[in-house]
Structure 1
Amino acid sequence: MNIGIDAGGTLIKVAYMKNDLLEFEKFPIADLEQVASWINGLDNIKICTTGGKATFLKSLLSQKAEQIVEFEATSSGVRYLLATCGITEESYILTNVGTGTSIHHINKSEQQRVGGTGVGGGTMMGLSQLLTGITDYDSIVPLAAKGIRDRIDLKVSQIYKGTVPPIPGDLTASNFGNVDPMVSRTDLEKEELLASVIGMVGETVATVSVLAAGQYGVSSVVFIGSSFIRNEFLKEVVQSYTRLRGANPIFLENGEYSGAIGALLHVSK
């Protein structure tokens, strides 16, 4: 059996073939030693690792493992998923929203990292904890989806009230810029605060992605990453903001496993 492993800053993603079907597993990075023990118990396998914790993972394995650069693995996995979905984009921006956000330009033959931002899933989790005390991802996401951002975020239309704004009024003029000085944090609902955090992350990610798309003359942005897992609210923010700014957003099913898929493809050659 061939196994591809993407050991990142937050999660360990695993891809392998079973009965000719592509299977996935994911584990928190805290379980790295347990994952290594599981792999060490398997026979007749070939392994390829990628990601920031790949070297450490390899040190825990009793079997020899190959290792490839994360960006190469991810772009290879994305090409595979696009082809599987019948999407024929040849040149596009790839935005990987994990703990942070990494942005790449991909065409038929190569990938190039063009930038990124420290705003990503780590920002979402850290600010959510600081503002609400909630640390669990599966609690943060559904609460945020119920929140209304009007008391916290300032829109362009609010600044240009009574006149036609020079840019779309639905754009956020200032994240967290509409908080009344007389309002304390305890006066705001947790849902409002969490919605504004995820809104800021999504809008930042979409904005830098669209700017990169304009720089490279492409119209589509492919979004992947663990921050989108069961997070329809973040997807909606990114999708609407990307379209509002004139680009075409594409979300791939199982996109968070792109690095693991790319590692699997490498070891399966």
Structure 2
Amino acid sequence: MTHQPDLAAAIDFGISNTDVVVRRGGDLITWSQPYARDPDPASVRELLATHAVDLDDLARLAVTGGRHRVLPDAIGDTQVVKINEVQAIGRGGQALLGLEGAARDTSLMVASCGSGTALIKAQGDSYAHVSGSAVGGGTMLGLARLILGTMDPLEIEALAAQGDRNGADLSLADVITGPIGSLPADATAVNFGRLGRRSFHGEVSREDLAAALVNLIAQTIALITINAARAQGCEQVVLTGHMVDMSTFREVVGLVGQYYAAELKVVDRPGYATAIGALLLADG
């Protein structure tokens, strides 16, 4: 079998999404599909074929995430290179931030905002899981199913963009008479706190509920990321994962960064960072 030397690919088998990166010459092709089942040789072939990539043309295929280790070490004549997910997240964060060569010695906190949240310190060729949270995109979808009646991320995003989080949350102005540090009066004091007041008997729109939900998830991720980065002495912070695709998520994260004088960087194609990291690590 003759492999195509200018063709390389990586697959990240996430809890919610399966992400694919293909490098053909100098071009990078990416696509994603919802997680369906544990990977096997047949499903890998089918996944690549959806974008006209023949597995047999690959000398090797990098895999990471979730249940990637259930795959064999080779499929036909294609070597299956299994990449540790922590390393893939860290290397992908470096790559998307443009930290290559000597710049990779920069101490970087990579927040992988997927179904849950993993915080990886990356520096040079060293990658370590330092913290994280069970709160993430999976939390958003599960709670959205309960309170909004949908699990469609695009619908949640559209609703949140039209809503006011303080329709469901309590702001500082609602609960105190003076400032707390540098936080503005409309900063969140209690997530969904308005609904928890015994005196509240009104209705909250789906839009306001969606805005409050995204706010809860984004604030939690932003705060643990800032605290972990400072505890680890990281010089830079980058956010990756498909949660970062949501403009409403990015808006809240940006506000939290302003409140605490921290820059949480957002890059292009954040949802493919882990697959890109696996691809680069498989290159050697």
Same fold (TM over 0.5): yes
Contact 2:182 2:259 in 1 (8 A): no
- Residue deviations 1:188-230 (CA, integer Å, cap 9, x gap): 111111110000000000111111122123353211111122x
In the alignment, structure 1 segments of 5+ residues that lack a partner are none
1:35–1:20 CA distance, 2 compared to 1 (3 A): farther
Report matched runs for 1:58-207 at 5 Å.
58=72, 61-62=75-76, 63-83=78-98, 90-161=106-177, 163-166=178-181, 168-169=183-184, 170-179=186-195, 180-181=197-198, 183=200, 187-207=203-223
Q: State how many pairs are aligned.
A: 265
Contact 1:36 1:61 in 2 (8 A): no
Question: What is the Cα deviation at residue 57 of structure 1?
Answer: 4.8
CA-based RMSD of the aligned residues comes to 2.5
Contact 2:21 2:275 in 1 (8 A): yes
Higher relative contact order (CA 8 A, sep 6+): 1
Task: Give distance in 1, aligned partners of 2:151 and 2:278.
Answer: 31
Contact 2:20 2:272 in 1 (8 A): yes
Matched, 1:52 2:66: yes
Question: What is the Cα deviation at residue 260 of structure 1?
Answer: 0.9
In the alignment, structure 2 segments of 5+ residues that lack a partner are 1-6
Task: Give distance in 2, aligned partners of 1:110 and 1:69.
Answer: 12
- Residue deviations 1:130-155 (CA, integer Å, cap 9, x gap): 00111211111111111112221112
Aligned to 1:260: 275
1:166–1:17 CA distance, 2 compared to 1 (3 A): closer
Contact 2:23 2:29 in 1 (8 A): yes
1:84–1:218 CA distance, 2 compared to 1 (3 A): closer
Overall identity of the aligned pairs, in %: 28
Give the counterpart letter for 2:247 in structure 1: E
TM (normalized to structure 2)? 0.84
Aligned to 2:3: none
